[in-house]
Amino acid sequence: MGKLEVSSIGLGVQNMSRTYQTTVPSRPEMHRIIRTAFDRGVTFYDAAEAYGPHEVERILGEGVAPFRDKVVIATKFGWNIDQETGARRPGLNSRPEHIKRVVEGMLKRLRTDRIDLLYQHRVDPEIPIEGVASAVKDLMAQGKVLHWGLSEMGLGTLRRAHAALPVSAVQNEYSMLWRGPEAEVLPLCQELGIGFVPWSPLGVGFLTGAIDANTRFAPGDIRGVESRFSPENLPHNLALVELVKRWAERKRATPAQIALAWLLAQKPWIVPIPGTTQMAHMLDNIGVADVRFTPAELAELNRAVRAVEVRGARLPEQVQVFSGVEAAPKKQGP
């Protein structure tokens, strides 16, 4: 992936401080999931200062402490979050001086001396991307950051960022449920030699088959505001889940493994980061290594996925989420 060598699948720890249903998972159990994932070959862990805020980075730092030097830690900056209190203020903040303060806080929370991959979580329209790259370059010169990336940026921004300081990875939503990156983002990543990390590779749980027409989301579950899961659209979109289930039976796999294997088959430099707070789900996800498609099977599955028209949009543009599923505009920005 870019200039980074990581396992073919990573672990997203986004919900380890609070689940979609706003419950608080057991901290020792989250450590156990992180460590079991490592024992099973996972070397790529994804967090962000916004998750918690701050608390997920602490959980991850505690979890990987016994083998810190054998894994790649990714985390993200870009919000107006106080580094001392974790208080959240409205809006974005990628001012160079703020980025440097954020990284100092990250290093303490993660119990490490460097961040392997530092993303700008969302593009700050007030700060030229060249200024952001310059701040990250300073941090690299100090050895505090090794690689950098962007999340949910526009094509022009990515080109400018890469020209200012080579970008190692892009993180965008991508799954059978949301295939937006295929048109332009993935081709540009291939052109520039940048790795691609799909967030929400299981469609916020949809592609596992855990959501059906009778599902009612708990208060605080961000999926309740997504029109993809509205009573009008959900029954139609379940055709995609039925497709995944049929392939799961055919390949003697689980629906989650089919969804992840499909992503892995698209490009060799795509590294999904499914998140979970359940040991069984984590073990199921990393079991995708045993699922393979022949070229003919992949072509057949791709045609079937394209034939399903997903109704409804991603999160509303005005929604900004600091934990739970990440917010993103419906279209790529400039």
Q: What is the pLDDT of residue 333?
A: 36
Q: Is 324 helix (H, G, I), strand (E, B) or coil?
A: coil
Domains of the chain are 11-307 (3.20.20.100)
The 3-state DSSP class for residue 228 equals: helix
**Alpha-carbon span 323 to 180, nearest angstrom:** 23
Which helix (H) or strand (E) segment holds residue 75: the answer is: strand 72-77
Measure the CA–CA gap between 95 and 131, rounded to whole angstroms. 8
Q: Cβ(162)–Cβ(192) under 8 Å?
A: yes
pTM tops 0.85: yes
Secondary element (H or E) of residue 119: strand 115-120
Measure the CA–CA gap between 4 and 197, rounded to whole angstroms.
Answer: 12
Question: What tens digit of pLDDT does each residue of 40-98 get?
Answer: 999 999 999 999 999 999 999 999 999 999 999 999 999 999 998 999 899 999 999 99
Q: What pLDDT does residue 166 have?
A: 98
Q: Which helix (H) or strand (E) holds 171?
A: strand 169-173
Whether the Cβ atoms of residue 305 and residue 243 lie closer than 8 Å to each other = yes
| Catalytic residue selected from 20, 51, 119, 174 | 51
For residue 162, CA distances in Å to 3, 56, 171, 256, 328 come to 13, 28, 14, 33, 21
Question: Any idea how long the chain is?
Answer: 334
Pairwise CA distance, residues 175 & 231, whole Å: 21
DSSP helix/strand/coil, 146: strand
* Residue 27 predicted with pLDDT over 70: yes
pLDDT tens figures, 211-227: 888 888 887 777 888 88
Q: How far apart are the first and last CA of the chain?
A: 25
Q: Angle at which helices 255-266 and 234-251 pack, to 10 degrees?
A: 90
Within 10 angstroms of residue 329's Cβ, the number of other Cβ atoms is 16
Q: Decide if 51 is catalytic.
A: yes
What DSSP string runs through 48-74? -TTTTTTHHHHHHHHHHGGGGGGSEEE
pLDDT at 332 over 70: no
